[in-house]
Amino acid sequence: MAATFESFKHRWPLSPELPAGGGVGPLSRRFTWSMRVLCFAALGVTGYLALKALRSEDVAGCGSGAAFDCGFVLHSRWAKVLGLSVSVPAFALYAVLLSALTFCRGEATKSHLRLAWGLFTVGAIAAGLAAVWFISLQVFAVGHLCMYCLAAHLCGVALCGAVLWKRPLGTRATARLAGVSVLGVSLMLAAQVFSAPPQTFQVERYATHVATSNAPAPAASNAGAKHQEKSPAAVVFEPPSGVPDDVEK
Dump the DSSP string for 125-189.
Answer: HHHHHHHHHHHHIIIIII--B-HHHHHHHHHHHHHHHHHHHH-TT-HHHHHHHHHHHHHHHHHHH
Task: For residues 139 and 52, give the distance between their C-alpha atoms in angstroms, rounded to a whole number.
Answer: 23
144 found inside a domain = yes
CA pair distance 28, 112, nearest whole angstrom: 18
- Specify if 46 maps to a domain: yes
pLDDT of residue 62: 80
pLDDT of residue 219: 55
Classify residue 241: in a domain, yes or no.
no
Query: What residues form DSSP beta bridges with 81?
Result: 84
* 176 is a domain residue: yes
Q: Calculate helix-pair angle for 87-101, 29-55, nearest 10 degrees.
A: 150
* Residue 199 located in a structural domain: no
pLDDT of residue 29: 87
Helix (H) / strand (E) element for 84: namely strand 84-85
Domain for residue 235, yes or no? no
Domain extent at residue 146: 27-194
Q: How far apart are CA 190 and CA 9, in angstroms?
A: 29
**CA-CA distance, 121 to 81, in Å (whole number)?**
23
Which residues make Cβ contacts (< 8 Å) with residue 72, sequence separation at least 6?
64, 142, 144, 202
64 inside domain: yes
Nearest to 164, CA basis, from 130, 200, 120: 120
- The total of structural domains in the chain comes to 1
Residue 52 in any domain: the answer is yes
Tens digit of pLDDT at every position of the chain (249 positions): 444 444 444 444 554 444 444 433 467 889 999 999 999 999 999 999 999 999 989 898 887 677 889 989 998 999 999 889 999 999 999 999 999 999 887 777 888 889 999 999 999 999 999 999 999 999 999 999 999 999 999 999 999 999 999 999 999 999 999 999 999 999 999 999 998 776 655 656 677 765 565 656 555 555 454 445 555 555 555 555 555 555 444
CATH code of 71's domain? 1.20.1440.130
Tell me, what's the pLDDT at 242?
A: 55
Write down how long the chain is: 249
Q: Which residues pair with 84 in a beta bridge?
A: 81
Q: CA–CA separation, 113 vs 107, rounded Å?
A: 9
